[in-house]
Chains A and B, each alone.
Chain A
Amino acid sequence: MNLDVHGLLEEYRGGADPRDVVAGSLARLKEVHEVLNTTIAFLDERAGAAAEESARRWADGTARPLEGVPFAVKDVIDVEGVPTTGGSWVSSDEPATRSAEVVRRLEAAGAIAVSKDTTTEFAVGGPNPPRFGTTRNPWDPQRWAGGSSMGTAASVAARAVPFGLGTDVGGSVRLPSAWCGLTGLKPTSGAIPRTGVIPLSWTAETVGPLCRSARDVELLFGLLRGPDGVDPRATALPPFTPSPVSDASGLRVAVVGGYLTEMCDGAVRSGLDAMTGVLADAGAEIVAADIPSAAEVLAIGYRIVWVEAASVHRVNAARWSEYDPVLVSRISQGIATPAVDYLLAQQFRVRLQRELDDVFAGADLILVPTCPSTAPRLPDATVVVDGEEFPLYAAQSRSTMLGNLTGAPGLAVPTGFAPDGLPTSAQLMAPPHGEAVALRAARVFQALTAHHLAVPSLVEMSDVSSPVSGATPD
């Protein structure tokens, strides 16, 4: 499955059979899972029936926009008839009675869900979830695929599916995208409804696609966005109009320094500089900018998320002893956070939004590293920045949390490779509802570079010296 969504649809128009494609996708998923531990459930029966329908539609000329395209689903997102475990022992294994709105929209467009994928427990636990274990990175199995949408990212990067759905509260779409060489979108808050997704943080969480190209993100975002009448934060949106322009002329791109780049591995910085250069050569104006409160974002963002997550997980308040201890250590501080501190943290969002307004007064986009390092090392998921080792949570969400706190969209884009062979990434941020501008810049960049087309080595995938702990799917 070395095609992106656009490429696969072109194959279908040329006569490819969705039954063969979906069967091939599932076979590849199982092969990949054996090595990387990507999958909680394979949806053979459900996907097979959908593939029959797709074959009929391609044959009789009634194919829909994503007809026959297989996709992976992080296991905090409901798929009808399949349990949603959240990667946790405490979840009921009863099948979901209705698919999440995002799954319903994709299936209404003809796409076919083929898997429920590993996640850190409830999308907030540590890199070694007790129930299903960690997920290895297709670029180097001794590295983590990333959290929290880890199985989805690894499946897309390992060419088992052309795209997948993840969730993002502090970077959980963009970070695994960065570490696995993918193009992943955290949309504007409220742009994509979250109905049918296990909640974590009401004010910070989003659902987004992990893809292999910006053109695919653009196609999928257009199909996923818009209110559903249920998610109270998914309200009416301005039109989404992808730009037909194939260069970057007229775009002003702000490169933000200070806190967001001071802790940044040289390889990540080189990728950022290279992207800046390519966009400038393509006609963009590069400007410098500053976000004065950037250094406060990570701690304040977590403060909000932990309070909300502790409140969400009160539903299992007597069973935290069965949770991943890392999960408990993270969200329990929300119990002891004074209400006034939580509200001060919410008020900080307005301050931060005004600071971004100031940047966007002179720029269309902000360009920052998606994360300071390449993929974390297993088993502890430590990150290395210019040879110095840091704990995962001190490093990973330094720039991604900016989008979750302000609601602004962020797009992770592969920028190249570090000397260790791992992908590097930069994040394009736009003002709210400015996804089309970020996607235009990413499309221009990907038309002029080939980083997003690189494929992980199968030889490396088979070179795993230690097994992954956790249960295997039925």
Chain B
Amino acid sequence: MSGNSRYSDYWRSQELAERLGYTLSDAQLAEMAAAVEAAEPAAARLRADPPLDDGWPVDPAHGDAWLRAR
């Protein structure tokens, strides 16, 4: 989430929160940004994961199949 493009600050902006329907104070926005940045390493690892079975990525809802098939 770092970089110099205009987008790099948009995700932590009041404008984004308001566009999505949320009212956050500056302090809450700062906490949100800190939390997202803290979670970034795990997100980056996830993005680097190859698709399962070397094919097209699975339907995310496929996770439910494990519960139904037994």
List A residues at the B interface (Cβ < 8 Å). Answer: 188-190, 203, 233, 235, 238, 296, 299-300, 302-303, 310, 314, 317-321, 325, 328-330, 332-333, 335-337, 341, 343-351, 353-354, 357, 406-407, 431-434
Instruction: Report Cα–Cα, A347/B62, bound state, in Å.
Output: 8
Instruction: Report Cα–Cα, A238/B29, bound state, in Å.
Output: 46
In the complex, the chain A residue whose C-beta lies closest to that of B13 is: A336
Instruction: Report Cα–Cα, A65/B57, bound state, in Å.
Output: 48
Let me know if B62 and A350 touch, CB within 8 A: yes
Chain B residues, Cβ within 8 Å of A328: 24, 28, 31
By secondary structure, the B interface counts as: helix
Let me know if B23 and A320 touch, CB within 8 A: yes
Chain A residues, Cβ within 8 Å of B36: 333, 336-337
Pairs across A and B, CB under 8 Å, 21 listed: A189-B67, A299-B42, A300-B42, A302-B39, A303-B43, A314-B21, A320-B23, A329-B31, A332-B29, A332-B31, A335-B24, A337-B43, A341-B47, A347-B52, A347-B63, A350-B63, A353-B66, A407-B63, A407-B64, A431-B70, A432-B70
Let me know if A406 and B66 touch, CB within 8 A: yes
Q: What does the 1/0 interface line of B25-66 toward A look like (CB < 8 Å)?
A: 100110111011001001101110100100001101111101
Cβ of B68 under 8 Å from chain A: yes
Let me know if B28 and A347 touch, CB within 8 A: no
Q: A347-B52, A351-B52 are in contact. Are A341 and B22 (CB under 8 A)?
A: no
Instruction: Report Cα–Cα, A442/B7, bound state, in Å.
Output: 53
Let me know if B12 and A336 touch, CB within 8 A: yes
Let me know if B60 and A336 touch, CB within 8 A: no
Let me know if A344 and B49 touch, CB within 8 A: yes
Let me know if A335 and B17 touch, CB within 8 A: yes
Chain A residues, Cβ within 8 Å of B28: 320-321, 325, 328-329, 332
Among B21, B22, B23, B33, the most chain A Cβ lie within 10 Å of the Cβ of B22
Partner of B23, one of A233, A317, A333: A317
Chain A residues, Cβ within 8 Å of B57: 347
Q: A296-B45, A341-B43 are in contact. Are A432 and B22 (CB under 8 A)?
A: no
In the complex, the chain B residue whose C-beta lies closest to that of A314 is: B21
Chain A residues, Cβ within 8 Å of B47: 341, 344
Instruction: Report Cα–Cα, A303/B42, bound state, in Å.
Output: 9
Let me know if B23 and A407 touch, CB within 8 A: no
Partner of A333, one of B35, B62, B68: B35
Let me know if A303 and B22 touch, CB within 8 A: no
Chain B residues, Cβ within 8 Å of A337: 36, 43
Chain B residues, Cβ within 8 Å of A302: 39
Chain A residues, Cβ within 8 Å of B52: 347, 350-351, 354
Partner of A407, one of B35, B60, B67: B67
Chain B interface extent, by class: 35 or more
Chain B residues, Cβ within 8 Å of A431: 70
Q: A296-B45, A300-B42 are in contact. Are A347 and B24 (CB under 8 A)?
A: no
Let me know if B46 and A329 touch, CB within 8 A: no
B41 to chain A, nearest CB (A): 8
B26 to chain A, nearest CB (A): 12
Let me know if B33 and A335 touch, CB within 8 A: no
Partner of B35, one of A190, A314, A332: A332
Instruction: Report Cα–Cα, A341/B48, bound state, in Å.
Output: 11
Let me know if A336 and B11 touch, CB within 8 A: yes
Chain A residues, Cβ within 8 Å of B23: 317-321
Instruction: Report Cα–Cα, A321/B25, bound state, in Å.
Output: 8
Q: A296-B42, A341-B46 are in contact. Are A332 and B32 (CB under 8 A)?
A: yes
Instruction: Report Cα–Cα, A335/B36, bound state, in Å.
Output: 10
Instruction: Report Cα–Cα, A318/B58, bound state, in Å.
Output: 36
Partner of A346, one of B24, B60, B70: B60
Among A235, A333, A344, A431, the most chain B Cβ lie within 10 Å of the Cβ of A333
Partner of A188, one of B42, B45, B67: B67
In the complex, the chain B residue whose C-beta lies closest to that of A351 is: B52
Let me know if A350 and B39 touch, CB within 8 A: no
In the complex, the chain A residue whose C-beta lies closest to that of B38 is: A333
A286 to chain B, nearest CB (A): 24
Among A328, A337, A347, A434, the most chain B Cβ lie within 10 Å of the Cβ of A347
Instruction: Report Cα–Cα, A36/B66, bound state, in Å.
Output: 41
Let me know if A348 and B49 touch, CB within 8 A: yes
Let me know if B58 and A350 touch, CB within 8 A: yes
Instruction: Report Cα–Cα, A328/B35, bound state, in Å.
Output: 11
Among B11, B20, B39, B52, the most chain A Cβ lie within 10 Å of the Cβ of B39
Let me know if A432 and B63 touch, CB within 8 A: no
Let me know if B46 and A353 touch, CB within 8 A: no
Q: A336-B11, A351-B49 are in contact. Are A432 and B66 (CB under 8 A)?
A: yes
Q: A329-B32, A332-B22, A341-B46 are in contact. List 12 more A-B contacts (CB 8 A).
A: A296-B42, A296-B45, A300-B42, A314-B22, A320-B23, A332-B31, A333-B32, A333-B36, A344-B49, A347-B60, A348-B49, A353-B66
